[in-house]
Amino acid sequence: MRKPLFCVFLLAMPLAAQQQPAPQAQPPMRVNIINVCTPGPEEQKEIAAALAMVPRRPDFALDFEVDRGRTKVPDEPLSHWVRIRRDFAPASPLSTVQYSFSVDEKGIIETLVFRVRDPKDVLQVVLDDTVTGATGPLEVLATDTPVAHMKIERFGKPSLGLARCEADQTAYEPLFRAASELMARYRALLGVRRTVPADLRMLGIGRPAAPAKKPAPKKTGKPSH
């Protein structure tokens, strides 16, 4: 009885192998390229509409948050940052606004993010500017740096973007101006110039240099006889 059963088992093995489903092919990869230098007329309209959606006179809720910290990413310099978040009132189409001020040896980055409460088309609006060189954080906070890049993240669609480039961008100046006005207004509404310097000092950034110690005067005594 053992021999026929063994033969049946051997015959069933190729049949079971044939019945196994073939491995599925990998899904195709889709790459979306964002034209951030010269977006077309339709993209310009959508960017303008997203910027216009942000209230100029917001009604904030009581909830807010201020964070500070250090971050070290491999192959990147140590970064010190301060973040301020405020919640909008429930009736607002936006849920939160978050401002971030980041300092490292490469420069300073300011980022402003508006998140939509009920995203049907736009998920969030991101504005940022970058300052490089010898300008310190306190000098950057004392002035309103123009926005150099904006990104509109959409629900189920590729993102839209606009950035400062060497191409002729005369047609996009109204968008850059509107984004820069939003950045300046919300910097004031969030109390950036009052809050960020204090938190940076707690991280050791922007502290005034300690006064140099004066050398002790030399003692001059009368020669002994």
Assign 34 a pLDDT band (cuts: 50, 70, 90): confident
- Which amino acid appears at position 66 of this protein? V
- Cβ neighbours around 78 below 10 Å, total: 11
Give the tens place of pLDDT for each residue, 52-107.
999 999 999 999 999 999 999 999 999 999 999 999 999 999 999 999 999 999 99
Residue 36, sorted as left (phi over 0), alpha (psi -120 to 50) or beta, turns out to be alpha
Say what the alpha-carbon torsion angle 33, 39, 43, 45 is, to the nearest 10 degrees: 160
- Evaluate whether 43 touches 170 at the Cβ level (below 8 Å): no
How many C-alpha atoms does 169 have within 13 Å on its Cβ side? 20
pTM of the model: 0.78
Give the tens place of pLDDT for each residue, 155-205.
999 999 999 999 999 999 999 999 999 999 999 999 999 999 999 999 999
Mean pLDDT of all residues in 207-224: 59
Beta bridge partners of 109: 102, 130
Beta bridge partners of 125: 114, 152
